[in-house]
């Protein structure tokens, strides 16, 4: 693409003169709290419902209304959609889709079962999960494990089109949901643990035709960056801003997965997502020729892109030269909140690295960066002085580094907090406009990290580190907390300890109740103001799915998928027993098998 074309496209991406329209059907449906038309509830990723029939006074009376078995084991992430009187349920690999008629006791209207090569399973990092379906204009979008993106007729289940987004033989897979903005289906990809150069791609909703693709690293034209217009903390990124931070051709196997949750602001006409770790996990192999650290842009980065053109408006890198696998893919929640006494169009992000970030979503200005678990010890904090040459960068504690500066050597480090799965992984937080607080499921886990040299072979693991994980020491002894967070000040308002990591997505409601699930299988409701537990129920398996709510015939229901798995539950999901397997998670979560077992079940609750 010529520079003039790049510039023109970028100018279109940052123009705020005329508000853009999100997809009209999705906008209309998400404005109706009786339905649940997006995995995140709305384009702002808030996971908040205006329904209040179930409230903090009566939630203790919840009963199971009905259940549905998916017939699939392994980890069940994401959640169902409800459009009108139909509920759409998905499964992990092989990614079956069910359409259930809520008017006929959840009778199966249609079932779509893709035929996928099981050889994709070994190259799926951290379980065979899928984070759910997307809907727009009468079309269901399924993001299959084998990277096929499939459009299905929502009424009949008929396949309308299918397009291949990657190559599993190279380690490219799908675990994320998609985001539909206007007539574009926005699709990310996994594969950093296999040396994939990852990307974000837009496909036409009606035809499946590829419209644009923006890579996480490489030449400006590949990333869809304009060196003079794309901003980083208020300054243009400059020419070859990514290439300058890689040695030789390392960027070609650079990682930067894009498998998280995406959000969209129609006024700014920007969508937001994060990129994952650079490949490999051994930082010494990514050091500069002088043996010093080098940023490896744009891994570990928040991107703000124009959905029409893919052009990048701004970027912010959270963990330059990542030494711990602190993927930056966690959800970007958009909310207008008070930051230091000023109403701000904010983007709030709870990163794997243990820092909760608040940025101006329109400009990329960094406003807050604070620890959302006090045990985080790899950094003393982020330089917040705009005049400092290290502005926006975290200060690394030398004892927690897995790399020796200047010598280009890897280092075995112990007692690093958080562990590689982060203070929070993919399990999405929620925001309540009632309280102005964010409700965050967290991991209270630390690790020992031993890098080793690894060679790249397409389709083979390109990790280069052995990990062991364990509960944070000198604390409550558990591996998780559910917290309320003030993103304007960067402070924890209240924290509820849990024995295991809280790996499910949260749901806040107008009834003053916040819902979440636990790895042992408990589905819980707590008071939005103080975290007091109001309700709990033991589902058939550990919960790593996301709570959602809807109404049917005037009655409010709360639903959640249970089915233990994901990174934390990989030992159970894949039958692993070696403590170092699962990139260190098997040993850390070995106790889970005493509390739960495999099984995919949708559990739906209501008041009597």
Residue-by-residue DSSP string for 420-464 = TT-SS-S---EEETTTTEEEEEEE-EEEEEEE------TTS----
Q: What is the domain class of 3-606 according to CATH? A: mainly beta
**What average pLDDT does the segment 295-317 reach?**
98
For the record, the structure tokens of 346 come out as 């904010």
pLDDT, residue 20, reads: 58
pLDDT, residue 79, reads: 98
In which residue are the tokens 């169902």 written? 80
pLDDT higher than threshold 50 for residue 134: yes
DSSP labels, 165-226: ---GGGT-B--S--EEETTEEEE--B-GGGT-B-EEEEEETTT--EEEEEESSSSHHHHT--
Q: Please list, in sequence order, all residues whose beta carbon lies within 8 angstroms of the beta carbon of residue 425, skipping any fewer than 6 positions away.
A: 327, 330, 352, 443, 503, 566, 567, 568
**Gap between the Cα atoms of 174 and 131, Å rounded:** 9
Residues 185-237 pLDDT 10s: 999 999 999 999 999 999 999 999 999 999 999 999 999 999 999 999 999 99
pLDDT, residue 406, reads: 83
pLDDT, residue 9, reads: 36
For the record, the structure tokens of 553 come out as 């015939």
pLDDT higher than threshold 90 for residue 5: no
For the record, the structure tokens of 438 come out as 């964010």
**Gap between the Cα atoms of 47 and 435, Å rounded:** 14
Query: Which helix (H) or strand (E) is 339 found in, with range?
Result: strand 332-339
**Gap between the Cα atoms of 409 and 131, Å rounded:** 38
Residues 351-395 pLDDT 10s: 999 999 999 999 999 999 999 999 999 999 999 999 999 999 999
Q: Please list, in sequence order, all residues whose beta carbon lies within 8 angstroms of the beta carbon of residue 228, skipping any fewer than 6 positions away.
A: 7, 236
% of the chain beyond a pLDDT of 90? 93
SS (H, E, C) 30-87: HCCCCCECCCCCCCCCCCEECCCCCCCCCHHHCEEEEEEECCCCCCCCCCCEEECCEE
Helix count (H) and strand count (E) of the chain?
5, 42
For the record, the structure tokens of 379 come out as 């950094």
In this structure, what are the phi and psi dihedrals at residue 11, rounded to the nearest 5 degrees?
-55, -40
Active site residues: 325
Interior angle at CA 212, CA 360 and CA 332, nearest 5: 25
Q: Are strands 507-509 and 48-49 parallel, antiparallel or unpaired?
A: parallel
pLDDT, residue 18, reads: 38
**Gap between the Cα atoms of 66 and 76, Å rounded:** 18
Work out the burial of residue 60: count CB atoms within 10 Å of its CB; fewer than 13 is exposed, 13-18 middle, 19 or more buried: exposed
Residues 323-351 pLDDT 10s: 999 999 999 999 999 998 899 999 999 99
**Gap between the Cα atoms of 477 and 511, Å rounded:** 32
| b/e code 70-101 from CB counts within 10 Å (16+ = b) | bebbbbbbbbbbbbeebbbbbbbbbbbbbbbe
Average pLDDT over the chain, rounded to whole?
95
């Amino acid at each position: 693409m010529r520079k003039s074309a790049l510039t023109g496209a970028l100018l279109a991406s940052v123009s705020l003169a005329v508000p853009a329209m999100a997809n009209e059907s999705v906008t209309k449906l998400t404005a109706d709290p009786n339905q649940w038309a997006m995995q995140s509830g709305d384009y702002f990723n808030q996971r908040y419902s205006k329904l209040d029939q179930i409230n903090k006074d009566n939630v203790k009376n919840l009963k199971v209304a009905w259940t549905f078995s998916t017939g699939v084991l392994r980890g069940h992430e994401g959640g169902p959609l409800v459009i009108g009187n139909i509920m759409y349920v998905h499964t992990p690999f092989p990614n079956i889709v069910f359409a259930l008629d809520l008017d006929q006791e959840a009778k199966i209207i249609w079932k779509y079962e893709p035929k996928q090569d099981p050889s994709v399973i070994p190259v799926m990092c951290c379980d065979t999960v899928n984070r759910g379906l997307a809907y727009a204009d009468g079309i269901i979008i399924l993001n299959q494990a084998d990277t096929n993106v499939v459009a299905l007729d929502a009424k009949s289940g008929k396949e309308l089109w299918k397009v291949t987004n990657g190559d599993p033989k190279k380690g490219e897979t799908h675990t994320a949901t998609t985001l539909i903005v206007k007539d574009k289906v926005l699709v990310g990809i996994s594969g950093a643990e296999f040396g994939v150069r990852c990307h974000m791609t837009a496909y036409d909703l009606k035809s499946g035709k590829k419209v644009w693709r923006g890579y996480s690293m490489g030449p400006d034209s590949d990333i869809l960056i304009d060196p003079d217009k794309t901003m980083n903390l208020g300054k243009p990124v400059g020419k070859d801003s990514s290439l300058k931070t890689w040695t030789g051709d390392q960027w070609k196997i650079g990682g930067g997965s894009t498998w998280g949750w995406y959000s969209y602001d129609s006024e700014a006409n920007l969508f937001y997502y994060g990129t994952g770790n650079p490949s490999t996990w051994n930082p010494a192999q990514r050091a500069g020729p002088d043996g010093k650290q080098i940023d490896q842009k744009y891994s570990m980065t928040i991107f703000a892109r124009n959905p029409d053109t893919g052009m990048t408006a701004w970027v912010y890198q959270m963990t330059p030269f990542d030494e711990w696998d602190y993927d930056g893919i966690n959800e970007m929640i958009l909310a207008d909140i008070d930051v230091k006494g000023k109403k701000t169009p904010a983007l709030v992000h709870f990163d794997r690295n243990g820092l909760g970030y608040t940025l101006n979503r329109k400009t990329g200005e960094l406003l807050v960066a604070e620890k959302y678990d006090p045990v985080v010890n790899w950094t003393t904090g982020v330089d917040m002085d705009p005049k400092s040459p290290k502005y926006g960068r975290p200060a690394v504690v030398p004892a927690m580094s897995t790399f020796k500066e200047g010598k280009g050597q890897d280092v075995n480090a112990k007692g690093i907090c958080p562990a590689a799965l982060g203070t929070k992984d993919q399990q999405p937080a929620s925001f309540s406009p009632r309280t102005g607080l964010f409700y965050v499921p967290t991991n209270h886990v630390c690790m020992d990290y031993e890098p080793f040299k690894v060679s790249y072979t397409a389709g083979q693991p390109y990790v280069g580190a052995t990990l062991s994980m364990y509960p944070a020491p000198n604390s409550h002894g558990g591996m998780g907390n559910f917290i309320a967070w003030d993103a304007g000040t960067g402070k924890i308002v209240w924290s509820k300890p849990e024995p295991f990591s809280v790996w499910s997505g949260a749901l806040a409601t107008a009834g003053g109740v916040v819902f979440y699930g636990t790895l042992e299988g408990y589905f819980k409701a707590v008071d939005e103001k103080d975290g007091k537990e109001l309700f709990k129920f033991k589902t058939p398996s550990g919960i790593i799915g996301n709570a959602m709510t809807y109404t049917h015939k005037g009655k409010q229901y709360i639903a959640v998928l249970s089915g233990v798995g994901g990174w934390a539950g990989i030992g159970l999901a894949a039958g692993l027993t070696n403590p170092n397997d699962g990139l260190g998670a098997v040993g850390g979560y070995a106790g889970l098998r005493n509390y739960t077992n495999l099984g995919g079940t949708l559990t739906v609750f209501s008041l009597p």
